[in-house]
């Protein structure tokens, strides 16, 4: 495997998350550790469950370097499994519930998973092939002849800590991209990388009796980057199995939630609730956003009406370049994603791999303490992902385009693959989307490039209108084009009932583009 040497944070990690969780259970056994629905686990309960999972796996012969898969909605069992797998010395492979059966089969084969734990609602995704694989299968909440019952299995496992030594270089988790073609890429994080991320625990108050509410899935790094700091800080994680805006606010009010991680589409749905202002949200101290850019107008609304600080992170699951925008401290920079995080170096490069001039748009490349160990078993893909700086340092290429303003704040332009090249000119879809979203009749929008005989490709706007809007697609297009430059103008607008999104709120542009390009390239 290619060796990637990330820079160290200000304080070199000296304690794994596995050890800190063990220590926290001893320090305050009666404090709540995990809450999900009606299940409330104290740290003592949580610790015993972790030990049972670890001993169950060890009894199967699971050891260092083995991968254990989980396919489930958020639950207290999932949280226990996550930490129990790590305590056994194995690596967690949290599988996307949005992946197809074909993609899941490829993931499990690619990582040679030793066991899989499945929840009933996702059984259909694996039932067609799991029985043919040499893998231990556990049913979390259902009966099935090809699956062992999870609860019965852990009841028979010992509660004593197996005390398996875990090193910083050992694998921690394997997160697969959700690609639908070929073999999805497995992003490998080790214990050092995850421990290095814990430098944010105290500054962000995760160790100050935090109550963190998470409603995005545990297979997503978006969730994990708040889940782990909360546990490392000895605080309480509240999990939602499925996001619902009103239920979310009810939990915040009832449980006096202090911390949360939400993706942009969730913020929008929460803030749009007619009775949002009737909820007591005064307990909230820290709100985080990541996975996609949070629109400036939504940030402004959150700052005006939702108590607590608002911090936006820009970064990738692979790691590397991370920026931080403390929104309440930078009200004139809400259109940006902030400045590079501590010990993070971000460079912008052109198509030839040369750094661009200040103020110019380039592909974002970054290096920092949180960098993946590589793509699992794919040195070729890892090598392609690296940009070597003139000083010989390894930076990760993001595929995102952006520029730095005069104050050093990063302004995102678009995904490199989403950039539209029309008549030889680069058009950034994000610029057009912002104009469409500023229209009071538009609630959601995406811009894609579609084939054009005259220009190669041309921008098409796909728009969701607010209920009751009387204007047509041509009127929306003309209003937007009045505000856009001549080279940016939309060729057309199509109205949609909704836009396809991933479970963490990203618009699935590949799905939107496919019908227009099938058979053309």
pLDDT digits (tens, 9 = 90+) for 278-300: 999 999 999 999 988 898 999 99
Same domain, 94 and 224: yes
Residue 179: pLDDT above 50? no
Same domain, 360 and 486: no
Same domain, 377 and 491: no
Domain termination site, one of 359, 382, 414: 414
Same domain, 98 and 169: yes
Same domain, 321 and 182: no
Q: Count of domains in the chain?
A: 3
Same domain, 385 and 448: no
**pLDDT band (50, 70, 90) for residue 182:** low
**Residues 6+ positions from 182 with CB-CB distance below 8 Å:** none
Give the domain range for residue 442. Answer: 419-517
Same domain, 435 and 497: yes
Same domain, 396 and 431: no
Classify residue 296: in a domain, yes or no: no
Classify residue 250: in a domain, yes or no: no
Domain termination site, one of 379, 414, 449: 414
Classify residue 258: in a domain, yes or no: no
CA neighbours closer than 13 Å in the CB half-sphere of residue 37: 9
Domain termination site, one of 355, 389, 414: 414
Same domain, 319 and 349: yes
Euclidean distance between CA atoms 70 and 116, whole angstroms: 6
Angle at 476 between CA 475 and CA 477, to 5 degrees: 90
Same domain, 362 and 481: no
Residue 332: pLDDT above 80? yes
**pLDDT band (50, 70, 90) for residue 372:** very high
Classify residue 263: in a domain, yes or no: no
Inter-residue contact 95 to 72 (CB < 8 Å): no
The SS3 call for residue 404 is strand
Q: What is the CATH number of the domain that holds 337?
A: 2.30.38.10
Give the tens place of pLDDT for each residue, 495-504.
999 999 887 8
Return the CA Rg of the chain: 23
Q: Cβ atoms within 10 A of the Cβ of 242, count? A: 11
Classify residue 172: in a domain, yes or no: yes
Same domain, 332 and 436: no
């Amino acid at each position: 495997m290619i060796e990637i040497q990330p820079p160290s944070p200000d304080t070199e990690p000296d304690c794994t998350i596995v050890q800190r969780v063990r220590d926290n259970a001893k320090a305050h056994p009666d404090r709540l550790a995990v809450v999900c629905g009606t299940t409330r686990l104290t740290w003592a309960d949580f610790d015993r469950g972790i030990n049972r999972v670890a001993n169950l796996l060890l009894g199967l012969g699971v050891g260092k370097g083995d991968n254990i898969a989980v396919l489930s909605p958020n639950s207290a069992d999932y949280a226990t499994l996550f930490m129990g797998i790590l305590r056994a010395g194995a690596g967690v492979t949290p599988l996307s519930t949005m992946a197809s059966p074909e993609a899941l089969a490829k993931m499990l084969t690619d990582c040679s998973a030793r066991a899989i734990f499945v929840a009933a609602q996702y059984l259909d995704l694996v039932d067609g092939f799991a029985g043919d694989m040499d893998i231990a299968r556990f049913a979390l909440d259902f009966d099935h002849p090809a699956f062992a019952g999870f609860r019965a299995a852990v009841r028979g496992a010992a509660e004593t800590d197996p005390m398996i030594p875990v090193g910083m270089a050992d694998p921690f988790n394997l997160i697969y991209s959700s690609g639908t073609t070929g073999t999805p890429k497995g992003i490998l994080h080790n214990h050092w990388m995850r421990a290095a991320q814990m430098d944010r625990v105290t500054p962000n108050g995760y160790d100050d009796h935090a109550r963190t509410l998470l409603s995005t899935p545990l297979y997503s790094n978006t969730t994990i980057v708040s889940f782990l700091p909360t546990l490392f800080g000895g605080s309480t994680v509240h999990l939602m199995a499925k996001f619902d805006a009103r239920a979310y606010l009810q939990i915040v009010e009832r449980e006096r939630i202090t911390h949360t991680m939400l993706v942009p589409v969730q913020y929008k749905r929460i803030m749009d609730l007619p009775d949002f202002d009737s909820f007591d949200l005064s307990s909230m101290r820290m709100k985080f956003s990541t996975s996609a850019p949070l629109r400036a107008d939504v940030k402004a609304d959150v700052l005006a009406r939702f108590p607590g600080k608002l911090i936006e992170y820009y970064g990738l699951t692979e790691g590397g370049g991370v920026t931080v925008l403390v929104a309440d401290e930078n009200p004139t920079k809400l259109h940006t994603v902030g400045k590079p995080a501590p010990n993070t170096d971000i460079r912008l490069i052109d198509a030839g791999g040369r750094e661009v001039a200040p103020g110019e748009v380039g592909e974002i490349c970054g290096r920092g303490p949180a960098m993946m160990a590589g793509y699992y078993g794919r040195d070729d893909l890892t090598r392609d992902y690296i940009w070597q700086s003139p000083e010989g340092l390894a930076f990760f290429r993001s595929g995102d385009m952006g520029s730095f303003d005069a104050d050093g704040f990063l302004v995102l332009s678009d995904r490199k693959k989403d950039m539209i090249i029309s008549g030889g000119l680069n058009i950034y879809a994000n610029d057009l989307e912002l104009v469409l979203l500023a229209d009071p009749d538009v609630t959601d929008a995406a811009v894609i490039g579609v084939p054009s005989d005259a220009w190669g490709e041309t921008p098409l706007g796909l728009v969701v209108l607010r209920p009751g809007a009387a204007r047509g697609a041509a009127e929306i297009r003309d209003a937007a084009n009045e505000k856009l430059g001549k080279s940016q103008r939309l060729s057309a607008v199509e109205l949609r009932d909704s836009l396809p999104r991933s479970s963490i709120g990203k618009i699935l542009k590949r799905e939107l583009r496919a019908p227009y390009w099938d058979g053309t390239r």
